[in-house]
C-alpha cells in the first residue's frame, strides 16, 4: 500500500476502523503495518512507546484476518505500561522493572485480546503513575505532539500522545488522581475515568489501591463506549470489582440532552483557573445550553482539601504497594527508585507511622467521606457536573519538575473524583491562543457512565475539536 493510504488508516476512529475492516477495505495486517510504520516514523520525536511488539502484533493480525464476529477483531491498540502482558516487557515506567516479563495477563488485556484486538505496544508513563507530566518516567519525558517543547500530561502521557499523533487507534490508561483525564486534556483526546470497581484492576501494577481506576482513551466518545463495554464487569480475581450489570454504553449516546441539568461547582471556577481555560469552558456551556441543557450552580465545599487529602492517602498506599519491590524475587533493587517514588514512599510511611496515623491518614479518610457526601449533595441538584480538567493549558517541559507542590496542584480538579470513586469523562473543548489543547470533564454519580458519555457525545457532535490534528 502507498504511504498516503497508510495515513488514511491511521486517521480513523475505532468505530470507523471496525467498519472498514468488516467491509474488507483493508486487512488487519495492513492496518497493523500502517500503525507500526507510523510508530517508527513519529515515536522518536514523541517518546510515547516504551515497548513495540512488532512481531507479536503482526502474528496476531494474521490470526485476526482468519476469524469472524468479534467486537474488536483486527483493531490495533496500545496500553499504558502498567498492565501485565504475558511474555511482553512491563515496566510501570520504572527501571526497577526494566527487564520484567510478566508470566500472566491483566484481566483488561485478556478481555481485549479475547475480543480480537491487536496489541501494538506499551506506552510511556510517570514511574509507578507518580506524576502529571511523564517527567518522572525513568525512560524520558513524553513530548506533546501539539508542541514538542511542552509536556503531554501524566501519568498516562504516552497514551494520550500516541493517540493524538495517530500511533494507535485506542489506548487503555489508568487514573489514580487524573492520570487519564489530564493527558487527554493536554493532547486533545478523549479519556474516561470510570467508577471505582467498574473495570478490574487485576494484573495492573498498583499505585494507590483504593483510588486506581482502569479506563479507555480514544479518538471519540463513541470509541470509549465500545471499549468500556468490552473491558467492564465483575472479575473474581479482583474483590473490589463491581457486580453491577454492564449496559450497552453505545445505546444511549444519541439521546437528546434537553432538560439535562449540568452543575457548575463554584469552587472550580475561582481565582486559580487560567482565563483561557475558563473562556473555553464557558463557550462549551453555551453549546450545551443550545442543545437544551439547563445550567445550575452547585457547590463542592471540600474542594480546598482535595489535594492535601489525596497526597496523604495516595502516598500512604503507594508506600505499602512499593514495599514488594525489594530486588529479591524480581526486578532491580530499591536503589533504582527515582526521586519522586522516594518522596512518596517517605510521605506515606510518615503518615502511617505510629503517632501520626490518626493525625494524618485517619483524618484524610474522614475528609474523603466528606468529599463523597459533597458530590452526592450536588447531584441532588444536577444530573452531571461540568468542570475544568486542569487549571492551565499544557506547561513547558522542565517548568514545574523542581517544584513538587506546583506540580501536585495541576491535579486540583481531578483528584476529588478519585476520592469520591465516581466517573468522569475528559474531552476537548478548544485551544489556547498559542495552539495548545484545552479540555473539560463531565462528572457523574457512581455508575453513571452512560449518562456522561451521552452528554459528551452530544457536545462532541456539536463541535469540530476532534477533527483537529497536530502537524508532525
Q: What is the DSSP string of 161-210?
A: HHHHTTS-S-EEEEESSSTTHHHHHHHT-EEEEPPTTSB--TTBPPSSTT
Q: What is the DSSP string of 230-266?
A: HHBS--TT-TTS--S----TTTTTTS--TT-EEEEEG
Q: CB of 449 within 8 A of CB of 194?
A: yes
Q: CB of 35 within 8 A of CB of 169?
A: yes
User: Choosing from 80, 122, 219, 400, which is the catalytic residue?
Assistant: 80
User: Choosing from 155, 185, 200, 242, which is the catalytic residue?
Assistant: 155
User: Choosing from 28, 156, 179, 213, which is the catalytic residue?
Assistant: 179
Q: CA 361: distance to chain centroid?
A: 26
Q: How far apart are CA 446 and CA 147, in angstroms?
A: 36
Q: How far apart are CA 398 and CA 445, in angstroms?
A: 36
Q: How far is CA 188 from CA 132, 191, 440, in A?
A: 16, 10, 10
Q: Note if 424 is an active site residue.
A: no
Which cell numbers in the block locate residue 164? 493524538
Q: Note if 179 is an active site residue.
A: yes
Which cell numbers in the block locate residue 187? 493532547
**Helix runs in 261-379, H state only:** 275-290, 306-321, 339-352, 363-378
Hey, is 414 helix, strand or coil? coil
The strand pairing partners of 144, in sequence order, are 147
- Residues contacting 41, CB < 8 A, separation 6+: none
Q: CB of 128 within 8 A of CB of 110?
A: no
Is the four-CA dihedral 50, 188, 135, 148 of positive or negative sign? positive
Q: What stretch of H or E contains 450? A: helix 449-461
Residue 154: how many other CB atoms lie within 10 Å? 32
CA dihedral 212, 216, 222, 226 (to 10 degrees): -100
Q: CB of 446 within 8 A of CB of 195?
A: yes
Residue length of the chain: 472
Q: Residues with catalytic annotation?
A: 80, 155, 179
Amino acid at each position: 500500500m502507498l504511504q498516503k493510504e497508510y495515513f488514511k488508516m491511521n486517521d480513523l476512529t475505532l468505530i470507523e476502523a471496525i467498519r472498514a475492516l468488516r467491509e474488507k477495505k483493508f486487512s488487519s495486517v495492513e492496518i497493523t503495518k500502517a500503525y507500526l510504520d507510523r510508530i517508527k516514523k513519529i515515536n522518536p520525536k514523541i517518546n510515547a512507546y516504551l515497548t513495540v511488539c512488532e512481531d507479536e502484533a503482526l502474528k496476531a493480525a494474521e490470526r485476526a484476518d482468519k476469524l469472524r464476529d468479534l467486537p474488536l477483531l483486527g483493531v490495533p491498540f496500545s496500553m499504558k505500561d502498567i498492565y501485565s502482558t504475558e511474555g511482553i516487557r512491563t515496566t510501570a515506567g520504572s527501571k526497577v522493572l526494566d527487564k520484567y516479563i510478566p508470566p500472566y495477563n491483566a484481566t483488561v488485556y485478556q478481555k481485549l485480546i479475547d475480543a480480537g484486538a491487536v496489541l501494538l505496544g506499551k506506552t510511556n508513563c510517570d514511574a509507578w503513575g507518580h506524576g502529571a507530566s511523564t517527567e518522572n518516567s525513568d525512560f524520558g519525558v513524553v513530548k506533546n505532539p501539539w508542541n514538542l517543547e511542552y509536556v503531554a500530561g501524566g501519568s498516562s502521557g504516552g497514551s494520550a500522545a500516541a493517540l493524538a499523533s495517530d500511533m494507535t487507534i485506542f489506548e487503555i490508561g489508568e487514573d489514580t488522581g487524573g492520570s487519564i483525564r489530564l493527558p487527554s486534556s493536554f493532547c486533545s483526546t478523549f479519556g474516561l475515568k470510570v467508577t471505582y470497581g467498574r473495570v478490574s484492576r487485576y494484573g495492573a501494577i498498583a499505585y494507590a489501591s483504593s483510588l486506581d481506576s482502569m479506563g479507555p482513551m480514544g479518538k471519540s466518545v463513541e470509541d470509549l463506549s465500545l471499549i468500556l463495554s468490552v473491558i467492564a464487569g465483575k472479575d473474581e480475581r479482583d474483590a473490589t470489582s463491581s457486580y453491577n450489570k454492564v449496559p450497552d454504553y453505545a445505546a444511549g449516546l444519541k439521546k437528546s440532552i434537553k432538560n439535562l441539568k449540568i452543575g457548575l461547582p463554584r469552587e472550580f471556577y475561582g481565582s486559580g483557573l487560567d482565563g483561557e481555560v475558563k473562556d473555553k469552558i464557558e463557550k462549551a456551556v453555551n453549546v450545551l445550553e443550545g442543545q437544551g441543557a439547563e445550567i445550575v450552580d452547585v457547590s463542592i465545599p471540600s474542594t480546598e482539601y482535595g489535594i492535601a487529602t489525596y497526597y496523604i492517602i495516595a502516598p500512604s498506599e503507594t508506600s505499602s504497594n512499593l514495599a514488594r519491590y525489594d530486588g529479591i524475587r524480581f526486578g532491580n533493587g530499591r536503589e533504582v527508585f527515582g526521586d519522586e517514588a522516594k518522596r512518596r514512599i517517605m510521605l506515606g510511611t510518615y503518615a502511617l507511622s505510629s503517632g501520626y496515623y490518626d493525625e494524618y491518614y485517619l483524618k484524610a479518610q474522614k475528609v474523603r467521606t466528606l468529599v463523597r457526601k459533597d458530590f452526592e449533595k450536588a447531584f441532588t441538584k444536577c444530573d452531571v457536573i461540568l468542570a475544568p480538567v486542569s487549571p492551565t493549558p499544557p506547561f513547558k517541559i522542565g517548568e514545574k519538575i523542581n517544584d513538587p507542590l506546583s506540580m501536585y496542584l495541576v491535579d486540583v480538579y481531578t483528584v476529588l473524583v478519585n476520592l469520591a470513586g465516581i466517573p468522569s469523562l475528559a474531552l476537548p473543548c478548544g485551544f489556547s491562543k498559542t495552539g495548545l489543547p484545552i479540555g473539560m470533564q463531565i462528572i457523574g454519580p457512581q455508575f453513571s457512565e452512560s449518562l456522561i458519555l451521552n452528554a459528551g457525545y452530544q457536545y462532541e457532535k456539536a463541535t469540530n475539536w476532534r477533527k483537529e490534528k497536530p502537524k508532525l
